Structure 1
Amino acid sequence: MSRENDRIFDVRALEAFEAAMSCGSMTGAARKLGVGQPAVTRLVRDLEAEVGFQLFHRNGPRISPTDRGLRFHEEVQRVIAGLRQVRGRAEAIREERLPSLDIAATPTMAGGLIGPSLQALGDELPDHMDLQTMSAEHVVRAVRSRTSDFGVAAYPLDHMGLERHVICESRLVAVVSDSAPEAELKGVEPLPLSRLDGARLITVGNAYRIRHSIDLALEAERVRPAQTLSTNSSLNAMMAARSGLGIALVDPVTAFGIPVRGVTVLPISTDIPYFWGLFSAADRAFAPSQMRFVEAFRTACQGIIPDCAFQDPQDPDLLKRVGNLMRT
């Protein structure tokens, strides 16, 4: 590797760029950082020279990020978050406080499980906690790069280099409106998939996760919904069901972890498995107080998801079975 590739970016330049992105102007960035505008402008220009591409389009005092600038900003955000984490850890060591807790989670897991998990820690909550939501792929990336202590996401995912602390199994559920015309389904438990034949199906659109499993189940039972409403969020699907737009098939973490008034959650007659878990970098060392979050997470899952079953996170056959769900 060349010496040029070993060079480290000026942290002040990265902070100036991050501030300019968040404030939308060099003037705002200067106020945020407590320095003069010329200093911010110089730092950003030096960073552009260092990376070899333009970060901002400039039109007088106004700036807007370039496409490359937007992509680079995602990386800078992770670096800045990591630096803040280091600063927080240093303060905790100096003052002999409980270490901070940094968690990366998908929106489903963050909304349905992380709050109750932290609450279960009680008096052992650290002084500083950080929860960032992102896609499952970015959760894995944040854990591997150590900008997050723990990651929480649905399986399957790329588990190489990860230590799996908890793997939970449940199954998808149906969500129907409490008002007509779906109200008649409230007493039908479990709900046969055949009730979706000729109806409007509401579900998530990720072809490699929930949606693939749903499509396989419908095909196996020769069920053909008349219409489909796809969204990128199970919560969106639940809200659409509440409006009477159709029958939603969603994950149990959203259905039970983020209660929505005006709907009823029903088991379905066909088991469509759903797995999720808590993991960290494989070689990460944790303080005992941080590891107690693992047990708190288990407690939250057990208390929120009615039929939550814990699987052996070290079982290689389990991981193969989870992976096969997406390839069947």
Structure 2
Amino acid sequence: MTTRPRLRQLEALKSVVDHGSMTRAAKSLEISQPAVSRLLADLSSELGFAVLDRKDGRLVPTQEANYILPDIARLLGVLKNITDTSQNVHDKTAGHLSVACLPGFATSHLPAVVTKFLKTWPDVTITLEPDRPERILEWIVGEQYDCGITDGFDGHPAIESTRLSVRTVCIFPKGHRFQDLKQVDARHLDEERFVHTRRDSSFYRSLHDVFRKASVNPTQVVETRQFTAACELVAQGVGVSVVSELDAQTYKDRLDYRPFVPSVPHEICLVRPIHKRPSKITLDFMEEFKASLSEFKV
């Protein structure tokens, strides 16, 4: 055999074997009977042996053809799966998405985003992996995840990023004296028991600059990496804090909050590997996430 059989030739042989006649095979393949005959004649020529015999008025595979029919069936099955999967992806019904995110997002905002996203992509599977910003960037640079949600990102040549600025608010326990204010000024926080983010974060540095310029000195009682942890501590009466409105809203039944001035936005970064071509699922999810922040953006 000097040439490879063509896919259409193999489909013709499989169809004739399945249906037992050229006529029914032609109807199944939606081509003419002479076209089926030509495909099979060419296949026999290229393989170097006859592929069909006639027995009791029915076309049956030759002994030689029987050796290769299982492989033909597997090949056509794989191709059908590829076609079906491609159609599912095109129709937004199948695929997998892996997302690395800050721990707070995994338990607060993202579940609602994922729920809405899966209504559009019902057969998509999703991996959510929460971790600290440093690890998220390692994963994205290594192309281990499709996209990531982080903060404090200063740029990297292997990462494409979109910066999203979210409003921050001052959160305080129910019944706190701040409840009578329309907004909380930095000066109101002087000597207040304060729950703050980690000292090496860009958000802490920005907030600390505001306190320094206003000559205020909150009593720092707890340092935490996550806004969600700060919300939990404030809800239990530990002190007050300044967090993203996104997180504060999640706890609105357990604490109170007001706009914080001057504005100190929380900078969220949506990142993905720059050298890995994003799937349609990834791009749609990133757009869904950005849209979910629209009411909180500065």
With normalisation by structure 2, the TM-score equals: 0.64
Q: Which amino acid aligns with 1:224?
A: N
What is the CA distance between 1:297 and its match in structure 2?
0.9
Q: What are the ranges of 5 or more consecutive residues in structure 1 without an aligned counterpart?
A: 1-91, 310-328
What is the CA distance between 1:125 and its match in structure 2?
4.1
Q: Partners of 2:149 and 2:220 in 1: how far apart? A: 32
Q: Partners of 2:164 and 2:174 in 1: how far apart? A: 29
Q: Does 1:156 align with 2:171?
A: no
Partner of 1:220: 213
| Aligned-pair Cα RMSD in Å | 2.1
Partner of 2:267: 275
SS in 2 for 1:245: coil
Q: Partners of 1:286 and 1:251 in 2: how far apart? A: 29
Q: Partners of 1:93 and 1:276 in 2: how far apart? A: 37
Q: Partners of 1:293 and 1:127 in 2: how far apart? A: 11
Contact 1:113 1:301 in 2 (8 A): no
Q: Partners of 2:201 and 2:290 in 1: how far apart? A: 26
Question: 5 Å matches for 1:24-103?
Answer: 96=85, 97=88, 98-103=94-99
SS in 1 for 2:275: coil
Q: Does 1:198 align with 2:195?
A: no
Partner of 1:296: 288
Q: Partners of 2:268 and 2:289 in 1: how far apart? A: 12
Q: What are the ranges of 5 or more consecutive residues in structure 2 without an aligned counterpart?
A: 1-80, 89-93
Q: Does 1:285 align with 2:277?
A: yes
Q: Which amino acid aligns with 2:127?
A: D
| % identical equivalent positions | 15
Larger Rg belongs to: 2
Q: Partners of 1:175 and 1:240 in 2: how far apart? A: 10
Contact 1:109 1:253 in 2 (8 A): no
SS in 2 for 1:120: helix
Q: Which amino acid aligns with 1:254?
A: D
Q: Partners of 2:109 and 2:82 in 1: how far apart? A: 29
Contact 2:231 2:251 in 1 (8 A): no
Contact 1:140 1:158 in 2 (8 A): no
Q: Partners of 1:242 and 1:205 in 2: how far apart? A: 19
SS in 1 for 2:182: coil
Contact 2:108 2:228 in 1 (8 A): no
Shift of the 126–301 alpha-carbon distance from structure 1 to 2, 3 Å rule, reads farther
Contact 1:118 1:125 in 2 (8 A): no
Q: Partners of 2:248 and 2:127 in 1: how far apart? A: 24
Partner of 1:247: 240
Map Cα deviations across residues 142-161 of structure 1 (whole Å, 9 max, x no partner).
Answer: 11212210111113344331
Contact 1:113 1:297 in 2 (8 A): no
Aligned counterpart in structure 2 of residue 233 of structure 1, from 211, 217, 226: 226
Shift of the 141–185 alpha-carbon distance from structure 1 to 2, 3 Å rule, reads same
What is the CA distance between 1:240 and its match in structure 2?
1.8
Aligned length: 210
Shift of the 227–298 alpha-carbon distance from structure 1 to 2, 3 Å rule, reads closer
